[in-house]
């Protein structure tokens, strides 16, 4: 029980940090506290879902209060900010909070039903479907940001690092001097992701004064819309990697086509991404298939520590999950609603300071060093090799999905493809 409580707090912290800080994306926020999470599959899954709910919850807060999108799915809000009048901004804050809470409740209930009735029991997940999802992720990584050549180079390099011991072993048969070195892919990811904080130029937060006028919330008018977009998000959340972002844009476009107000569009987009953030976990929980970068990290963590998803069959687990998710939704809602604007402004000022980024970078590395008991030499070798690579990735504005897939998923893709060839040819 103490482990679940500890995990719950970590998830909330990670969600807050990820949502509010533009330098910390969902994956980095997830990885930052992952080593602290007890090695229990339920705790790790809870941590992942709670952190992701928080990132979506506070992503919109960062935009509305500071005009900085905390995560990609908050860009529709940024686009609509100019259309909001003074008093409307606070209504937008309240409506997105309520929308996020309703979406969390609806998608948590869906998740609970699917897990409780064990829907996966009678569903087969053949190798070709698994392979299709993997290759879809590779395609998304290659075409991300339309930098095909850069993404291919990054993917190839990351794959080479992932397979380095095997390549070196082959090379050793020809040249004995080639060293076999075992890189730690999780440490590499942390160095590359955390070093982004050093290079990233965070725009100064432009805090605006909000009128906290609650009288014109007109909740009845919005509740139907909020429910509809929650369901939208639940379905679109099943799309690999971009589920939350796509659902956010889809709901935004839907409201835009209906020529609704900026408030409608903001509420719709921020509701949909929250439900997508929860249902996006279904393929992983039911079939063990990761469909996003943080799920790839989670599955690698599971494999490293020999964990599996059988815990979901245990009595009461689905109830614990839904209770934790609902409670986290409520806590995020209360924090987001009750916190005074001055805290957001303070936070905005803090995160635009360079020393804060340096401090966060050192803190993260120190945590990983102490918790994983790395050898100092091993850590330094990784730092020397992968910090410059982190800079290059920042310089070329590369989507880090290619790095994650190359480092963590290519071996699974290789073996699954090889297996499919053995079966069908």
Q: What residues line the site for other proteins (CB under 8 A)? A: 2-3, 5-6, 9-10, 12-13, 36, 39, 124-127, 165-166, 169-170, 172-173, 180, 182, 303-306, 308, 339, 343, 373, 375, 411, 415, 418-419, 422-423
DSSP codes, 313-360: GSTTHHHHHHHHHHHHHHHHHHHHHHS-HHHHHHHHHHHTSHHHHHHH
Q: Which is nearer to other proteins, 166 or 213 (CB)?
A: 166
The least CB distance from residue 248 to other proteins, in Å, is 27
Q: Which is nearer to other proteins, 216 or 419 (CB)?
A: 419
Q: Which is nearer to other proteins, 6 or 369 (CB)?
A: 6
The least CB distance from residue 9 to other proteins, in Å, is 5
Q: Which is nearer to other proteins, 177 or 373 (CB)?
A: 373
Q: Which is nearer to other proteins, 9 or 207 (CB)?
A: 9
Q: Which is nearer to other proteins, 120 or 144 (CB)?
A: 120
Answer yes or no: are the C-beta atoms of 98 and 109 closer than 8 Å.
no
The least CB distance from residue 258 to other proteins, in Å, is 38
Q: DSSP letter for 241, please.
A: T
Q: Which is nearer to other proteins, 145 or 308 (CB)?
A: 308
The least CB distance from residue 254 to other proteins, in Å, is 35
The least CB distance from residue 171 to other proteins, in Å, is 9
E-strand spans in 128-270?
none
Burial profile 66-76: b = 16 or more Cβ within 10 angstroms, e = fewer: bbbbbbebbbb
Angle at 44 between CA 383 and CA 335, to 5 degrees: 95
Angle at 260 between CA 329 and CA 256, to 5 degrees: 85
Residue written as tokens 């909330």?
12
Q: Which is nearer to other proteins, 124 or 395 (CB)?
A: 124
Instruction: Give the span between the Cα atoms of 411 and 422, in whole angstroms.
Output: 16
The least CB distance from residue 240 to other proteins, in Å, is 20
Cα–Cα distances in Å, from 355 out to 200, 363, 374?
12, 12, 26
Instruction: Give the span between the Cα atoms of 276 and 394, in whole angstroms.
Output: 28
* Sequence-ordered list of residues with C-beta below 8 angstroms from that of 49, at least 6 positions apart, any chain: 11, 277, 278, 281, 321, 325
Q: Which is nearer to other proteins, 143 or 305 (CB)?
A: 305
The least CB distance from residue 403 to other proteins, in Å, is 17
CA atoms within a 13 Å half-sphere pointing along the CA-CB vector of 288: 17
The least CB distance from residue 261 to other proteins, in Å, is 32
The least CB distance from residue 166 to other proteins, in Å, is 7
* Sequence-ordered list of residues with C-beta below 8 angstroms from that of 244, at least 6 positions apart, any chain: 56, 72, 73, 233, 237, 273, 276, 277, 280
Burial of 311 (0-12, 13-18, 19+ CB in 10 A): middle
Answer yes or no: are the C-beta atoms of 12 and 52 closer than 8 Å.
no
Instruction: Give the span between the Cα atoms of 115 and 317, in whole angstroms.
Output: 9
């Amino acid at each position: 029980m103490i482990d679940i409580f500890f995990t719950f707090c970590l998830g909330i912290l990670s969600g807050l940090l990820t949502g509010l800080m533009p330098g910390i994306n969902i994956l980095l926020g997830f990885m930052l506290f992952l080593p602290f999470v007890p090695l229990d599959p339920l705790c790790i899954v809870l941590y992942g879902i709670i952190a992701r709910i928080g990132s979506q919850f506070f992503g919109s807060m960062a935009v509305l209060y500071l005009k900085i999108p905390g995560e990609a799915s908050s860009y529709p809000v940024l686009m609509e900010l100019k259309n909001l009048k003074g008093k409307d901004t606070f209504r937008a804050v309240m409506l997105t909070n309520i929308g996020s809470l309703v979406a969390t409740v609806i998608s948590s209930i869906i998740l609970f039903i699917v897990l409780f009735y064990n829907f996966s029991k009678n569903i087969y997940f053949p190798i070709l479907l698994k392979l299709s999802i993997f290759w879809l992720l590779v395609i998304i990584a290659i075409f991300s940001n339309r930098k095909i050549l850069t993404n291919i180079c990054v993917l190839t390099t990351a794959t080479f690092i992932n397979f380095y011991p095997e390549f070196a072993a082959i090379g050793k048969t020809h040249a004995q001097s080639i060293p076999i070195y075992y890189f730690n892919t999780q440490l590499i990811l942390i160095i590359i992701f955390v070093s982004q904080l050093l290079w990233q130029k965070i725009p100064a937060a432009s805090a605006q004064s909000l009128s906290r006028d609650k009288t014109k919330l007109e909740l009845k008018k919005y509740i139907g819309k909020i429910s509809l977009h929650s369901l939208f998000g639940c379905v679109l959340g099943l799309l690999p990697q971009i589920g939350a972002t796509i659902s956010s844009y889809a709901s935004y476009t839907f409201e835009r086509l209906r020529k609704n107000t900026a408030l409608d569009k903001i509420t719709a987009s921020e509701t949909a991404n929250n439900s997508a953030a929860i249902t996006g976990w279904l393929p992983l929980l039911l079939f063990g298939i990761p469909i996003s970068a943080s799920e790839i990290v989670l599955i690698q963590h599971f494999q490293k520590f020999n964990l599996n998803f059988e815990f979901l069959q245990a009595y009461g687990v689905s109830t614990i999950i839904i209770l934790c998710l609902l409670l986290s939704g409520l806590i995020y809602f209360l924090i987001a609603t009750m916190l005074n604007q001055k805290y957001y402004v303070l936070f905005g000022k803090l995160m635009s300071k360079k020393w804060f980024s340096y401090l966060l970078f050192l803190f993260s590395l120190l945590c990983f060093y102490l918790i994983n008991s790395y050898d100092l030499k091993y850590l330094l070798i990784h730092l020397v090799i992968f910090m410059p690579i982190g800079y290059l990735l920042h310089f070329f504005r590369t989507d880090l999905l290619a790095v994650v897939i190359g480092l963590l998923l290519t071996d699974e893709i290789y073996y699954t493809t090889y297996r499919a060839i053995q079966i069908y040819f």
